[in-house]
């Protein structure tokens, strides 16, 4: 894996951020932006039943998400059109479009960091009229009716994730005075610990509560916009000293 700074440059995210910003937002996608996981929806409809066995092994920590996803999607038989139709039926959480519009108006960068698949994410964002959002995720493509996965943003030192969210969060922190992370699940655990402010729901919130980690609850993007608006106002009124 190239350095995260190089990757931000290659993806055009560095240009999106430009000069150092007071605030930047990293969003997980499946289960955070959406109400249902697009990977699981695809596997449910087009995968062989054994995909659930691989899922259970990953959740028990017995295999990496790369190996899990690769084996799961080797069982998928579907056309590109079928997969796009399936994932675009998934709803995005209330207020997401309005949240993005507010962030763009306030010059707050928003970046999608996902351990899901870019093919699914892009289909959903395109349908919502938000194809302009930068996305860091695992790569998926379909040849005939066979699904192929690859992991351009993995970290060889990490045995868990397909996309090394931690590396990107660290790179983004160098370009923002305050970094907000919003997530819901297993793949968000490491990256969320590096955020200045964490919004969590579902499995991630339960993990934070069990371990005594600080987080703010996340329900929908209307509430998130209000919380981040308040945070931004406080940062502008009382800037934090530089991080150590």
Q: Which residue has the higher pLDDT, 111 or 6?
A: 111
Q: How confident is the model at residue 185 (pLDDT cuts 50, 70, 90)?
A: confident
Q: What average pLDDT score do residues 84-96 get?
A: 97
Report the pLDDT value the prediction gives residue 169, as an integer from 0 to 100.
Answer: 87
Report the pLDDT value the prediction gives residue 47, as an integer from 0 to 100.
Answer: 96
Angle at 193 between CA 104 and CA 103, to 5 degrees: 5
Q: Tokens 């990256």 label which residue? A: 191
Q: How confident is the model at residue 19 (pLDDT cuts 50, 70, 90)?
A: low
Report the pLDDT value the prediction gives residue 4, as an integer from 0 to 100.
Answer: 55
Report the pLDDT value the prediction gives residue 117, as an integer from 0 to 100.
Answer: 96
Laid out side by side, the sheet with 110-117 consists of: 146-150, 135-143, 110-117, 21-27, 176-183, 197-200, 216-217
What average pLDDT does the structure give for the chain? 88
Tokens for 14, please give them. Answer: 């560095």
Report the pLDDT value the prediction gives residue 65, as an integer from 0 to 100.
Answer: 84
In degrees rounded to 5, what are phi and psi of residue 165?
A: -65, -35
Q: Are 198 and 181 in contact (CB under 8 A)?
A: yes
Q: What average pLDDT score do residues 71-92 get?
A: 96
For residue 137, what is the DSSP state? E
Lowest mean pLDDT among 24-28, 80-84, 189-193: 189-193
**Distance between CA atoms of residues 201 and 196, nearest Å:** 17
Tokens for 211, please give them. Answer: 């371990």
Beta bridge partner(s), residue 198 = 181
Q: How confident is the model at residue 243 (pLDDT cuts 50, 70, 90)?
A: low
**Domains along the chain?**
4-236 (3.40.50.1000)
For residue 242, what is the DSSP state? P
CB-based contacts of 190, cutoff 8 Å, min separation 6: 160, 161, 165, 166
210: helix, strand or coil: helix
> pLDDT digits over 129-175, tens only?
999 999 999 999 999 899 999 998 887 776 677 888 888 888 888 88
124: helix, strand or coil: helix
Q: Is the pLDDT assigned to residue 53 strictly greater than 60?
A: yes
Report the pLDDT value the prediction gives residue 175, as an integer from 0 to 100.
Answer: 80
Instruction: For the chain, give the percent of residues with pLDDT over 70.
Output: 88
Q: Are 66 and 154 in contact (CB under 8 A)?
A: yes
């Amino acid at each position: 894996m190239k350095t995260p700074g190089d990757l931000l440059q290659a993806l055009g995210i560095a240009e999106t951020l430009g000069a150092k910003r007071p605030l930047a937002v990293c969003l997980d996608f499946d289960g955070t932006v959406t109400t249902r996981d697009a990977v699981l929806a695809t596997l449910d409809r087009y995968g062989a039943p054994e995909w659930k066995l691989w899922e259970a092994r990953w959740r028990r920590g017995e295999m990496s998400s790369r190996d899990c996803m690769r084996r799961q999607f080797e069982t998928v038989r579907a056309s590109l059109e079928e997969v796009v139709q399936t994932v675009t039926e998934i709803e995005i959480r209330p207020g997401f479009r309005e949240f993005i519009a507010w962030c763009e108006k306030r010059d707050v960068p928003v970046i999608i960091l996902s351990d899901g698949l870019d093919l699914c994410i892009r289909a959903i964002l395109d349908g919502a009229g938000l194809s302009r959002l930068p996305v860091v995720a695992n790569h998926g493509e379909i040849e005939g009716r066979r699904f192929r996965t690859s992991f351009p943003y993995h970290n060889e030192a990490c045995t868990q994730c397909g996309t090394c969210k931690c590396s990107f969060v660290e790179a983004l922190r160098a370009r923002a005075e305050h970094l907000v992370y919003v997530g819901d699940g297993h793949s968000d655990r490491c990256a969320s610990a590096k955020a200045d402010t964490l919004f969590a729901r579902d499995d991630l919130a339960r993990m934070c509560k069990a371990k005594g980690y600080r987080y703010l609850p996340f329900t929908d993007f209307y509430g998130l916009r209000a919380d981040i608006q308040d945070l931004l106002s406080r940062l502008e009124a009382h800037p934090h000293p530089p991080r150590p």
